[in-house]
Structure 1
Amino acid sequence: MGIFKPKAWLSEVTDLDKTEPRSYKEALLHPRWKQAMLEEYEALIKNNTWSLTPLPKDRKVIDSKWEFRLKQTLSGEITRFKACLVAQGFNQDYGIDYFETFSPVVKPTTIRLVLLITLSHN
């Protein structure tokens, strides 16, 4: 028996569910988008992705914004409401505004390269 994750399908999809909000204010009016925002916030807190710190006098606040996406199957059925809080980091300076970067994605080519190097060194 293999390990699998059962698919959870959303029921009762309305016309309002088929559009992505353009702002966080719009998203807060819809329960499913509001839940998606709450899940994203809780994940950021749980993973210690960011922390609030006092703002130095010579620095500006780095803005952030919410991005909203509907995740769908190939047939168009909505499977997930996805909200991401992203920093508008084009104004950031390394060592001042941030100290490390985080990317949860590993490309298959990277895994193959690491395995190839490992095999070549026994």
Structure 2
Amino acid sequence: MDDEMRALAKNQTWDLIELLQDMKTVGCKWVYLVKYKSDGSIERYKALMVAKGYTQIYGIDYQETFAPVAKMNIVYFLLPLAAIFSWNIQ
């Protein structure tokens, strides 16, 4: 869990902001995984912090959507489009 928290802080995963009145935060929870080697022995234990996106109410709790992981084939597809159409990438 310490490694995961350090990685989240290093990558500046979130910004702290003041919560607006009548708004709720999106919670998070820890997911624990056991990674195995090909021979079946334990390689390592892994902890992931994930957002509870299912607690959001459409049109009330959020204005933006997010995906925790971007697949590389999507990145390879969007970068040429951004170059062709002069889109800004964030």
TM-score by length of 2: 0.65
**Of 72, 77, 83, the match for 1:106:** 72
Partner Cα distance (2:42, 2:12) in 1: 30
Partner Cα distance (1:55, 1:79) in 2: 41
Residues 71 and 50 of structure 1: CA distance in aligned 2, closer, same or farther (over 3 Å): same
Structure index of larger Rg: 1
1:93 partnered with 2:62: yes
C-alpha RMSD of the superposition: 2.7
**Identity of matched residues, %:** 32
TM-score by length of 1: 0.50
Count residues with an aligned counterpart. Answer: 74
Residues 69 and 58 of structure 1: CA distance in aligned 2, closer, same or farther (over 3 Å): same
| Unaligned stretches of 5+ residues in structure 2 | 79-90
1:52 partnered with 2:16: yes
Higher strand share: 2
| Unaligned stretches of 5+ residues in structure 1 | 1-36, 115-122
